[in-house]
C-alpha cells in the first residue's frame, strides 16, 4: 500500500526531485546526452539500443514529430559511429489512433535504418496493443526481413502461442529476432501470469522454444535466477555466442551486467532519453509500484 501511495502521488512531486532517481536510468533529454552515454557504453564493451521517450500520443501531429526525431537520431547515431540499434514504441506513432498511419511512420524509420545496414526493434506495449503490434511487425518484416525485430513478454499467457504462430516468418538464413522480457504493464490474471515463479518459468519456456527453433533472442532480464537459467539453456543447446545476446536497462544491475560481459556474452543496453522522461518515470511507477523499493534504495545508496 505504501508503494502504491508513493507511485500514485509521484506525478505531484517537483520534477527536480523525480529526476534524482530518474537520472540513474535515463540518458538525458537531448540526443547529445544520449550519444555520450552510448559512446561510454561502447567503450566499456557494450552495444546499445536507443529509445526516444514518449508513448500513447493524443494526435497524429505528435506522431509526425516523433518520426522526424527518430530519423534525425539515426543520422546522428551513424555519424557518431555508435555500435547500437533502435527501439520504437508504436503508440508513439499513433497505433491506437490510426494503425495505418503508424505503419507508414515506422516503415519510414525502418527504411532509414536499413539504409545504414541497421536494425529497429518494435517494442511490445500493453495487452490492447499486442495483436496490432504483431500485425505491424509482420507487415514491415515482409519488406525489410533483416532490419526489424519484435519484443515478447513472458508474463502474457499467450506468448508461447504467439511465438509458434510467427514461425512462418522464420528461416535459417533470416532468423527471427525477438527480445524476451518479463513484461511491466499491469494486466489481469486472465491475461497474464502474476506470481514471480510462474513468470520466470514461462520466460525460460519461451526462451527454450527460441533456442530449439533457431530464433535469435535478446534475453532481457535483471533477475539473477533467470540469467542463470538462460546460461544453463545456452550450455544445454550449445549456443554459439553469435546466436543470442543479453539485454539490460541503462543504470540497472551493473555488477550482473559486468559478470556477463567478462564471461564473453554479448550485452546490449537499453538507453532511453528525451524530453518526456517525467511522464515515462511516473507511468512506470504507476504500472509497477514495486519499483518504489528500488527507487528508495537508489536515493539512499546511489544504485
pLDDT tens per residue across span 199-235: 999 999 999 999 999 999 999 999 999 999 999 999 9
Does a structural domain hold residue 16? yes
In the chain, how many domains are there?
A: 2
pLDDT value at 300 more than 60? no
Does a structural domain hold residue 83? yes
Average pLDDT of the residues in 102-127: 98
Q: Which grid cell sits at 146?
A: 533483416
Q: What are the tens digits of pLDDT across the range 250-261?
A: 988 999 999 999
The span from the CA of 186 to the CA of 127, in Å, is 9
Please state the pTM of the whole predicted model: 0.90
The span from the CA of 101 to the CA of 220, in Å, is 29
Residue with cell 530449439: 212
Do 252 and 285 lie in one domain? The reply is no
Do 78 and 196 lie in one domain? The reply is yes
Do 75 and 124 lie in one domain? The reply is yes
Do 166 and 281 lie in one domain? The reply is no
Which residues span the domain enclosing 247?
49-273
Catalytic residue among 123, 126, 162, 206: 123
Do 289 and 215 lie in one domain? The reply is no
Q: Which residues pair with 86 in a beta bridge?
A: 50, 120
pLDDT value at 303 more than 50? no
Give yes or no: 179 in active site.
Answer: yes
Do 227 and 297 lie in one domain? The reply is no
Does a structural domain hold residue 161? yes
Do 205 and 280 lie in one domain? The reply is no
Catalytic residue among 107, 179, 257, 268: 179
Do 161 and 283 lie in one domain? The reply is no
Give yes or no: 168 in active site.
Answer: no
Do 88 and 177 lie in one domain? The reply is yes
Q: Which of 29, 45, 46, 137 is nearest to 88 (CA)?
A: 137
Amino acid at each position: 500500500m505504501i508503494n502504491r501511495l508513493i507511485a500514485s502521488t509521484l506525478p505531484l512531486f517537483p520534477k527536480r526531485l523525480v529526476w534524482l532517481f530518474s537520472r540513474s536510468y535515463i540518458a538525458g533529454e537531448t540526443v547529445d546526452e544520449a550519444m555520450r552515454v552510448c559512446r561510454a557504453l561502447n567503450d566499456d564493451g557494450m552495444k546499445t539500443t536507443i529509445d526516444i521517450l514518449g508513448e500513447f500520443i493524443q494526435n497524429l501531429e505528435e506522431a509526425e514529430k516523433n518520426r522526424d526525431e527518430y530519423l534525425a537520431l539515426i543520422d546522428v547515431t551513424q555519424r557518431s559511429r555508435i555500435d547500437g540499434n533502435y527501439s520504437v514504441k508504436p503508440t508513439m506513432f499513433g497505433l491506437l489512433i490510426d494503425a495505418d498511419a503508424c505503419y507508414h511512420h515506422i516503415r519510414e524509420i525502418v527504411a532509414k535504418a536499413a539504409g545504414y545496414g541497421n536494425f529497429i526493434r518494435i517494442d511490445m506495449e500493453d495487452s490492447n496493443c499486442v495483436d496490432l503490434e504483431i500485425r505491424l511487425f509482420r507487415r514491415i518484416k515482409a519488406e525489410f526481413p533483416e532490419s526489424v525485430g519484435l519484443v515478447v513478454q513472458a508474463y502474457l499467457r499467450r506468448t508461447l502461442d504467439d511465438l509458434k504462430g510467427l514461425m512462418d516468418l522464420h528461416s535459417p538464413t533470416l532468423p527471427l529476432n525477438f527480445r524476451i522480457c518479463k513484461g511491466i504493464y499491469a494486466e489481469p490474471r486472465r491475461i497474464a501470469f502474476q506470481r514471480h515463479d510462474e513468470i520466470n518459468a514461462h520466460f525460460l519456456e519461451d526462451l527454450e522454444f527460441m533456442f530449439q527453433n533457431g530464433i535469435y533472442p535478446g534475453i532481457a532480464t535483471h533477475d539473477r535466477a533467470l540469467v542463470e537459467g538462460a546460461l544453463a539453456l545456452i550450455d544445454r543447446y550449445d549456443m554459439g555466442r553469435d546466436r543470442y545476446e543479453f539485454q539490460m536497462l541503462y543504470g540497472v544491475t551493473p555488477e550482473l551486467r559486468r559478470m556477463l560481459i567478462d564471461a564473453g556474452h554479448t550485452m546490449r543496453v537499453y538507453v532511453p532519453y528525451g524530453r518526456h522522461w517525467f511522464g515515462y518515470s511516473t507511468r512506470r511507477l504507476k504500472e509497477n509500484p514495486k519499483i518504489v523499493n528500488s527507487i528508495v534504495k537508489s536515493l539512499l545508496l546511489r544504485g
